[in-house]
A and B are shown apart, each in its own frame.
Chain A
Amino acid sequence: MSGHYGQFDIRWGMVIDLDKCTGCGACMVACQAENNVAIQTDASNKRLVTNWMLVFELSNGKSFPDHEVAYLPRPCMHCGNPSCVAVCPATVTTKDEEGGIVSQIYPRCFGCRYCMASCPYHARYFNWYDPVWPEGMEKTLSPDVSVRPRGVVEKCHFCHHRWMQAKDKARVAGEDPKALPQEAYQTACTQACPNGAITFGDLNNPEHTVHELAHSEYAFRLLERLGTEPQVYYMSRREWVRRAGDNYLADEKTGSVKNEHHS
């Protein structure tokens, strides 16, 4: 379905091994620091908190001693067929750049929140108030990422600025910016994960680890049946975890179905 938005030579993607994730939240913290995500003085209402990367806890629903949990980090899926791009009235969010990263142009967003209503992953966040940086904290702001005012929607962009920097570096070194080695461009969450659960790279490039991992028999994507075609993959050897990645009728086998409406 990526055909709707063009075929890209490079498709930045992520594979997250849920069997390695311990739910420590380092990816969330790294993301917040890297991307100038606003500090909220009262984070008691989780539905008002901004987490471009959010770790969900999954349970197999069984009692002890069969009880198991898994942790699922959820960035923006950068869908091949994004539900948000077509609905945005002001062309704020697009999928038209090589790499397939779904963009978000903050100065153009007027805050209608239609994209939030469209996203089944809840990957989009609204700035309900003006961001306030406690005195001194403004010194921690990264100059590479713009801060967002109130009234606009924001989301994960796969640390797009790091890609820009990697391309610049390649150009200076006389290398091809379109053929970056895997190490040249990594997201903050990937680097922060202590267990190496997150792998990032070009899904189209056989030299990048994600290419192989995404083709694993244990790989799956969230809500594939809806036809969103995410560029974020998950892996687990546990069948119940893979099954939790999509909706299944009782008699359906995990991973046996595909989207019928958008293929």
Chain B
Amino acid sequence: MSTIPSKPFDQALFPDGGPRCGLLKFVLWLGFLGLIFAWGGYAMGRIFFYGIGETALDNYFGFGLWITFDLAVIALGAGAFFTGLLRYILNIDPLKNIINLTVIVGFICYSGAMLVLGLDVGQPLRSWFGFWHANVHSMLVEVMFCITCYLMVLAIEFIPLVLENRQLDKIRLIHRISHNFHVFMPLFAGIGAFLSTFHQGSLGGMYGVLFGRPFAFREGFFIWPWTFFLFVLSAVGSGPVFTVLICGIIEKVSGRKLVDFKIKALMGKIAGTMLTIYIVFKIIDTWAWANGYLPSVGLTFDQMYNDVYGTWLLWAEIGVCGVLPAIMLMTPSLRNNPTLLYTAAILDCTGVTINRFVFTVQALAIPVMPFDQWYSYTPNWAEWAPTFLVLAYGALVISLSYRYLPVFPQEKKLNA
């Protein structure tokens, strides 16, 4: 009796390009993600029911893990707008092979950030007051408007990919709709680039305008503190390689080649170029802050660091996770080595995360009043659980997209 290899029940939905794991295995994976959802959901439930007092946040650390996480994922999600800009506006054609993934990663990052923000504000049902009673002088208003609009743009960019599911695409109307979405994609890429540049900058501006916080305050150009520009540069210097990392993880888990390594190296070169520009300005900015601004308000560089939030954070951010990956990504022989490319990408993403952390948490830990004291902040389980929920949400969206949508145009060729 011959044995016929069993095919997954949902095979008809798979993209034209390759096999996917069995349905049972996939459901077990979803079940694992479900456990994280349950844990995160429990924490969210407690926070919505009892209040944010369930977290380790306090009157000194009004911002903590969640804001750090939001800022980090929004920076790392910058691969979407920047790659879109390069692909659709500057016509760098090879990027078409990874553009779908950048859109998905961007969508996850932004929607995940919105989810966490909804939890982080004290009165979520009043969140719309930021639009209704908008204070035009607040960088946060600009962030709110741009992030909301940009999430819509990302959704519009994601829709055609969903419509290209093998079964949906057979429906003539849907096929035409998705085709028309593609026709207008350069327009959305342009809008996305505009919106994203501004809110990445405004996130930096949010900290740079805090003249009551000498760690964060920066002077700048017109209404924009230098952090405005630094946050844009650091986002585009890390977002593209974050997408490469996600791609590498999907390849590792699925055991299939999905994007030609040359494309990844190109993304590394793009991020490396921006990271190099960023790190040069970041070093100048840090030097000017330490030697110009701080002494002008009676403070010294050493007063900005203590045993917990030590200068090691600065050296790690600028040196190990800044200069080093910039050199690695800008040197072709290093960049073209997969291990070194991924290493540089990890360092790069770590660096931008440290940057967002110190601006969010360390800035608040420093005693500004001379008679006050240093405090430190450690997030508790009620903050970690929803954070992992968002990570699980990201894994869910990527898993479903990989399984059912034609995300990787090169997959068939690379695995032939």
| Interface status of B381 (Cβ within 8 A of chain A) | no
For the complex, give the distance between the alpha carbons of A152 and B139 in Å. 20
Q: Main secondary structure on chain B at its contact with chain A?
A: loop
For the complex, give the distance between the alpha carbons of A180 and B85 in Å. 62
Known: A72-B371, A89-B140, A126-B122. A114 touches B296 (CB 8 A): no
The answer to whether B58 and A110 touch across the interface, beta carbons within 8 angstroms, is: no
The answer to whether A226 and B212 touch across the interface, beta carbons within 8 angstroms, is: yes
Known: A91-B133, A126-B122, A247-B297. A83 touches B210 (CB 8 A): yes
The answer to whether A122 and B60 touch across the interface, beta carbons within 8 angstroms, is: yes
Partner of B137, one of A72, A86, A152: A86
| Interface residue ranges of B18-45 to A (CB < 8 Å) | none
The answer to whether B121 and A151 touch across the interface, beta carbons within 8 angstroms, is: yes
The answer to whether A83 and B130 touch across the interface, beta carbons within 8 angstroms, is: no
For the complex, give the distance between the alpha carbons of A113 and B123 in Å. 11
For A, the interface residue count at a CB cutoff of 8 angstroms equals 63
Known: A56-B371, A87-B139, A120-B212. A150 touches B122 (CB 8 A): yes
| Interface residue ranges of B297-320 to A (CB < 8 Å) | 297-300, 303
Known: A87-B140, A128-B51. A257 touches B298 (CB 8 A): yes
The answer to whether A244 and B370 touch across the interface, beta carbons within 8 angstroms, is: yes
Partner of A108, one of B53, B121, B133: B133
Residue in chain B with minimal CB distance to A130: B51
The answer to whether B300 and A125 touch across the interface, beta carbons within 8 angstroms, is: no
| Interface status of A58 (Cβ within 8 A of chain B) | yes
* Residues of A with C-beta under 8 A to B363: 117
| Interface status of A249 (Cβ within 8 A of chain B) | yes
Q: Name the distance in Å between A215's Cβ and chain B's nearest Cβ.
A: 23
* Residues of A with C-beta under 8 A to B135: 86, 88-91
For the complex, give the distance between the alpha carbons of A249 and B303 in Å. 11
| Interface status of B244 (Cβ within 8 A of chain A) | no
Q: Main secondary structure on chain A at its contact with chain B?
A: loop
The answer to whether B133 and A58 touch across the interface, beta carbons within 8 angstroms, is: no
Mask of A109-145 contacts with B, CB within 8 angstroms, 1/0: 1111110111111101111111000000000000000
For the complex, give the distance between the alpha carbons of A127 and B52 in Å. 9
Mask of B212-234 contacts with A, CB within 8 angstroms, 1/0: 11100001000000000000000
The answer to whether A122 and B372 touch across the interface, beta carbons within 8 angstroms, is: yes
Q: Name the distance in Å between B83's Cβ and chain A's nearest Cβ.
A: 30
* Residues of B with C-beta under 8 A to A72: 371
For B, the interface residue count at a CB cutoff of 8 angstroms equals 54
Known: A121-B369, A151-B51. A108 touches B59 (CB 8 A): no
The answer to whether A227 and B59 touch across the interface, beta carbons within 8 angstroms, is: no
Partner of B59, one of A48, A92, A112, A152: A48
The answer to whether A87 and B53 touch across the interface, beta carbons within 8 angstroms, is: no
| Interface status of A252 (Cβ within 8 A of chain B) | yes
| Interface status of A161 (Cβ within 8 A of chain B) | no
The answer to whether B53 and A129 touch across the interface, beta carbons within 8 angstroms, is: yes
**Most chain-B Cβ atoms within 10 A of its Cβ — which of A89, A91, A225, A227?**
A89
| Interface status of B287 (Cβ within 8 A of chain A) | no
| Interface status of A228 (Cβ within 8 A of chain B) | yes
For the complex, give the distance between the alpha carbons of A246 and B370 in Å. 6
Mask of A51-72 contacts with B, CB within 8 angstroms, 1/0: 0000011110000000000001
> Apart from A50-B59, A247-B368, A261-B293, what 19 extra A-B contacts exist at CB < 8 Å?
A48-B53, A48-B58, A86-B209, A87-B209, A88-B138, A108-B133, A110-B123, A110-B124, A111-B121, A116-B59, A122-B59, A122-B60, A128-B57, A149-B123, A152-B123, A226-B297, A246-B370, A247-B297, A261-B297
**B contact set with A: CB distance below 8 Å:** 50-53, 57-63, 120-124, 126-127, 129-130, 132-135, 137-141, 144, 206, 209-214, 219, 293, 295-300, 303, 363-364, 368-372, 375
Which 3 A-B pairs have CB atoms at the shortest separation, nearest pair first?
A: A111-B122, A151-B122, A128-B53
